[in-house]
Amino acid sequence: MEIHVVETALGRLKAAAVVLFAAQGESLRKRASACGQGYREALETLESSKSFSGEAGQVRTLTGGGKERIARVVLVGLGKRAKLTHEGLRHAAGAGVRAARELGAREVALAMPEGKGAFYRAETLAESLTEGSVVGLYRFENYKRKSAEDVIERISVLAAPAQAKAARRGLKEGRVLGEAVCFARQLGNEPGNVATPTFLATEAARIAEAHGLGLQVLEEDDMRALGMGSLLGVSQGSSEPAKLIILTYEPPARGKKRPETVAIVGKGLTFDTGGISIKPAAKLEDMKFDMCGGAAVLGAMQAVAGLQIGVRVVGLVPASENMPDAAAYKPGDILRAMNGTTIEIRNTDAEGRLILADALAYATSKLKPKPKAIVDLATLTGACVVALGDGHAGLVSNTDGLAAELLAASAESGDAIWRLPLTDTYRAQLESPYADLSNLGSPGAGTLTAAAFLENFTGDVPWAHLDIAGMAWTAKKSGNFLVGATGFGVRVIARWLQSRG
Ligand code: BES
Ligand code: MN
Ligand code: ZN
């Protein structure tokens, strides 16, 4: 798909479809008239019948009567102007381009909403319109006999000549973020028999090649040599070999100053049966999404390369299956993680923390230079879905400054997160009579005891954890997100990394 900034005014544009945005109560008369005489009349009819109010999510299409320069006009409501957010605009853009696609248009132009203030800067508007369009047009069709025939081939974002340069910058950023989100969704939607640890490593190699990232994949033998008994313990019941994927982004040189290094770690559990502590059958198919933290890390690495941010980023994805098997790890087993910590297994379904433990220990002890911050993303606990539903991911951190940075990046990016507490109350619940730690807390606050467990593997590096269990996929279509993986985490992480560089 081509995406461009086009400097032609609405009054002279030729297009298969144009998307116009209107806030509640705002008149579209001037802009509709600029699209052609037929639209002026169509809009008057629409206004007198009160069938378009500008409510958020409302979409109406107008036909210009066959002889206009612009074949179709799509109107999209933005809701109350005072409440408009960039995330709202991204969803509105997605709704607009999807409507154009349904009308059979192959090309669509988007007119920027007009207004005063920082919100309406051409750069940010173009960013939101582009990102929203790319995310909103995504479909997963790898396994359908026939792929859809309605395809948008070209998107034009309309900008006044004075704004075109800024709009081009925003467009590029929106495109990079949107494509990275779709890449993560694509990985997430792949079924468990395809998206194995080996597949994730191959995909990592593909993006490393395409975007100039460094790549190292630790095999099980390498992990054994490093003492990664925690990750290997989870994997031992699976016939798919585990991988620890390590991607490195080097920023372009900027003077003499050495850039800081930060690490991001994503749970890449390619199918979670629960293991010997097996899960019930209902919704078990959703556990193919248990690698979405890993997918978010791969997507974020693609994004930082595209954005050419100023910090050095190492992305780590511990990838494994969790299977019941004669060779599988069992409740009562004691595993030894790479940092020497022994772990009593109380429940083999609390496996995410175990594969993350070795990846976090590796990131804090082996990377040179040592990272200044580590953030992990994981579909870690059902308890987080109980606490926050599909409204926010849970943020748990032992460093207030880092938590604040992530919350700021969250607000800008559209990936919603909410901070939860980490105190000694939760840390104390991981005591084991037999080992240094238990992999299970007392009943209650499962998200927080899981986070407290991870903290043991982060050394003295400022660390934050995002529990994305409620956000990584959706069972119902919602705005730009279809049923399936959402790519959650890519945008907040990319924005956070951008804010540090
Ligand atoms: N992958 C699951 C968490 C999960 C469950 C994510 C449902 C999304 C939806 C994780 O490995 C898990 O099984 N967690 C257990 C932990 C428990 C055994 C302490 C859980 O949440 O039940
Ligand atoms: Mn599990
Ligand atoms: Zn899991």
Interatomic CA distance for residues 260 and 129, integer angstroms? 32
Mean pLDDT of the chain: 97
Which of 284, 285, 349 to mutate for ligand 1's pocket (most ligand atoms within 8 Å of CB)? 349
171 Cα to the center of ligand 2, angstroms: 39
pLDDT of residue 43: 92
Q: Which atom of ligand 1 is nearest to the CA of 470?
A: 8
pLDDT band at 67 (very low <50, low <70, confident <90, very high): confident
Residue of the CA atom closest to atom 14 of ligand 1: 381
Contacts of 194 (CB under 8 A, 6+ apart): none
Q: Structure tokens of 303?
A: 């994004």
pLDDT of residue 175: 98
The burial class, CB within 10 Å (0-12 / 13-18 / 19+), for 435 is middle
Interatomic CA distance for residues 351 and 272, integer angstroms? 8
Strands 70-77 and 15-22: parallel
17 Cα to the center of ligand 1, angstroms: 45
Q: Which atom of ligand 1 is nearest to the CA of 440?
A: 19
Beta bridge partners of 268: 319
The pTM of the full predicted model, rounded to 2 decimals, is 0.98
Please report the sign of the dihedral spanned by the C-alpha atoms of residue 398, residue 400, residue 401, residue 403. Answer: positive
DSSP letter, residue 465 = E
Which of 279, 283, 381 to mutate for ligand 1's pocket (most ligand atoms within 8 Å of CB)? 381
The answer to whether domain 2-158 and domain 179-500 are alike in fold is: no
Interatomic CA distance for residues 201 and 184, integer angstroms? 14
Residue pLDDT, tens place only, 108-146: 999 999 999 999 999 999 999 999 999 999 999 999 999
The burial class, CB within 10 Å (0-12 / 13-18 / 19+), for 22 is buried
489 Cα to the center of ligand 1, angstroms: 18
Closest CA to 315 of 325, 305, 330: 305
Q: Which atom of ligand 1 is nearest to the CA of 472?
A: 8
Distance of CA 47 to the CA centre of its chain: 38
Helices 292-307 and 164-189 pack at an angle, to 10 degrees, of 160
Strands 334-336 and 342-344: antiparallel
Q: Which atom of ligand 1 is nearest to the CA of 267?
A: 1
Interatomic CA distance for residues 129 and 146, integer angstroms? 29
**Could you give the dihedral angle defined by the CA atoms of residues 295, 300, 301 and 304, in that order, rounded to the nearest 10 degrees?**
170
Amino acid at 291: M
**CATH number for the 179-500 domain, one of 3.90.1150.200, 3.40.630.10, 3.30.390.50, 3.90.190.20?**
3.40.630.10
Residue pLDDT, tens place only, 292-347: 999 999 999 999 999 999 999 999 999 999 999 999 999 999 999 999 999 999 99
Whether the predicted pLDDT of 21 surpasses 80 = yes
The arithmetic mean of pLDDT across residues 55-70, rounded, is: 92
- Is-contact 251 312, C-beta < 8 A? yes
**Which ligand is nearest the CA of 289, by number?**
1
pLDDT of residue 346: 98
pLDDT band at 256 (very low <50, low <70, confident <90, very high): confident
pLDDT of residue 65: 80
Interatomic CA distance for residues 275 and 238, integer angstroms? 9
336 Cα to the center of ligand 3, angstroms: 19
Amino acid at 415: D
DSSP letter, residue 340 = S
**Which ligand is nearest the CA of 475, by number?**
1
pLDDT of residue 255: 83
Beta bridge partners of 262: 313
The arithmetic mean of pLDDT across residues 34-51, rounded, is: 92
Amino acid at 359: A
Residues flanking ion ligand 3, Cβ below 5 Å: 269, 272, 290, 352
395 Cα to the center of ligand 2, angstroms: 19
Strands 243-249 and 312-322: antiparallel
Q: Which atom of ligand 1 is nearest to the CA of 450?
A: 19
Residue of the CA atom closest to atom 8 of ligand 1: 469
DSSP letter, residue 440 = -
Whether the predicted pLDDT of 267 surpasses 80 = yes
CA distances from 265 to 43, 313, 371, 474 (A): 51, 11, 12, 22
CATH number, domain 2-158: 3.40.220.10
Residue of the CA atom closest to atom 9 of ligand 1: 382
**Which ligand is nearest the CA of 324, by number?**
2
**Which ligand is nearest the CA of 320, by number?**
3
Distance of CA 60 to the CA centre of its chain: 29
pLDDT of residue 269: 99
Name the percent of the chain lying above pLDDT 70: 100
The burial class, CB within 10 Å (0-12 / 13-18 / 19+), for 339 is buried
Residue pLDDT, tens place only, 477-492: 999 999 999 999 999 9
Instruction: Please tell me which residue, 356 or 65, carries the higher pLDDT value.
Output: 356
pLDDT of residue 265: 99
pLDDT band at 391 (very low <50, low <70, confident <90, very high): very high
Q: Which atom of ligand 1 is nearest to the CA of 269?
A: 1
CA distances from 391 to 182, 415, 465 (A): 20, 10, 17
- Is-contact 372 461, C-beta < 8 A? yes
pLDDT of residue 254: 84
Which residues are designated catalytic?
Answer: 279, 353
Interatomic CA distance for residues 268 and 468, integer angstroms? 13
Q: Structure tokens of 176?
A: 């990079």
Cβ neighbours of 424 (radius 10 Å): 8
349 Cα to the center of ligand 1, angstroms: 7
454 Cα to the center of ligand 1, angstroms: 15
241 Cα to the center of ligand 2, angstroms: 18
CB-defined site of ligand 1, < 6 Å: 272, 290, 347, 349-352, 379-383, 385, 440, 446, 469
**Domains in the chain: boundaries:** 2-158, 179-500
Q: Is 418 helix (H, G, I), strand (E, B) or coil?
A: strand
Please report the sign of the dihedral spanned by the C-alpha atoms of residue 322, residue 326, residue 332, residue 335. Answer: negative
